């Protein structure tokens, strides 16, 4: 049986499904680039991984909303390091693999699944992935803001869901390409001496203000949707 969500804001509602929440997304493309939402999970003390993985942080509701959101977007963007760690698997939307070196083994789930269609976004002008089962094309572009425009113009991608990692999110923010942040706050504490958070890099000056769009709860987890 599917998990139920409680909407706390903007107006209270009970018994919502993950599909109900995802149904309002995505927004129309802003200008000449795709609409982009970043989807991340973190513990209550801000850790984005436990033992190097996001899986131990999630609950069933997070899993269901994660897949419901994917189904609403044209493409899922993910960095090479996240793929090397999480592997991924078959997915219906196109995948956008962000990598400088293209050092991603062909046996990770994203590249192993025959039905996957992968756009490799890279600044490299000649490097290629090792031969793999997935259908692979290349978007070679050094400037990320221009790459986002090319995704829409050349590949027909009107909406992108970014699932990691922290460096990819930092680069997208610097390029002005992020429209929303979907943050799952897990009812867990993890601690750690060198914690990974959802965003990496130098301090943002000034910090980026977020606008609360909606807030849901399920199993003690908070599902926050912010606009930028």
- Does the pLDDT at position 137 exceed 90? yes
**Beta strand segments in 99-158, E:** 117-122, 135-140
Q: What is the mean pLDDT of the chain?
A: 95
pLDDT at 209: 97
Give tens-digit pLDDT for 209-221: 999 999 999 999 9
In which residue are the tokens 């599909």 written? 19
Average pLDDT for 136-147 = 96
Give tens-digit pLDDT for 66-114: 999 999 999 999 999 999 999 999 999 999 999 999 999 999 999 999 9
| Phi, psi (degrees; rounded to nearest 5) at 119 | -95, 120
pLDDT at 26: 94
pLDDT at 53: 86
Dist. CA 48–CA 45, nearest whole Å: 9
Q: Which CATH code, of 3.40.190.120, 3.40.430.10, 3.40.1000.10, 3.40.630.30, is assigned to 31-227?
A: 3.40.430.10
- Does the pLDDT at position 195 exceed 80? no
Close Cβ partners of 206 (under 8 Å, ≥ 6 residues apart): none
Q: How confident is the model at residue 160 (pLDDT cuts 50, 70, 90)?
A: very high
Give the three-state DSSP class for 37.
Answer: strand
pLDDT at 1: 77
Q: How confident is the model at residue 11 (pLDDT cuts 50, 70, 90)?
A: very high
- Does the pLDDT at position 207 exceed 80? yes
Instruction: Read off the pTM.
Output: 0.95
Domain residue ranges in the chain = 31-227
Give tens-digit pLDDT for 106-120: 999 999 999 999 999
Residue (of 124, 121, 170) closest to 147 by Cα position: 121
pLDDT at 129: 96
């Amino acid at each position: 049986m599917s998990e139920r969500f409680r909407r706390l804001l903007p107006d209270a509602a009970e018994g919502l499904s993950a599909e109900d929440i995802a149904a309002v997304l995505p927004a129309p493309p802003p200008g000449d680039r795709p609409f982009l939402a970043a989807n991340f999970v973190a513990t209550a003390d801000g850790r984005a991984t436990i033992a190097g993985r996001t899986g131990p942080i999630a609950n069933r509701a997070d899993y269901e909303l994660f897949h419901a959101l994917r189904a609403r977007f044209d493409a899922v963007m993910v960095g090479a390091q996240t793929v090397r760690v999480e592997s991924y698997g078959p997915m219906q939307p196109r995948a956008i693999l962000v990598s400088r070196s293209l050092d991603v083994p062909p046996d990770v789930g994203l590249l192993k699944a025959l039905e996957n269609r992968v756009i490799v976004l890279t600044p490299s002008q000649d490097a290629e992935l090792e031969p793999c089962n997935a259908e692979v094309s290349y978007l070679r572009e050094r400037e990320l803001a221009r790459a986002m425009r090319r995704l829409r113009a050349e590949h027909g991608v009107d909406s992108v869901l970014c699932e990691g990692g922290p460096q990819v999110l930092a680069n997208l923010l610097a390029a002005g390409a992020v429209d929303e942040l979907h943050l799952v706050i897990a009812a867990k504490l993890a601690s750690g001496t060198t914690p990974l958070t959802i965003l990496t890099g130098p301090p943002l000056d000034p910090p980026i203000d977020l606008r609360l769009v909606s807030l849901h709860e399920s199993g003690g987890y908070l599902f926050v949707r912010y606009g930028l």
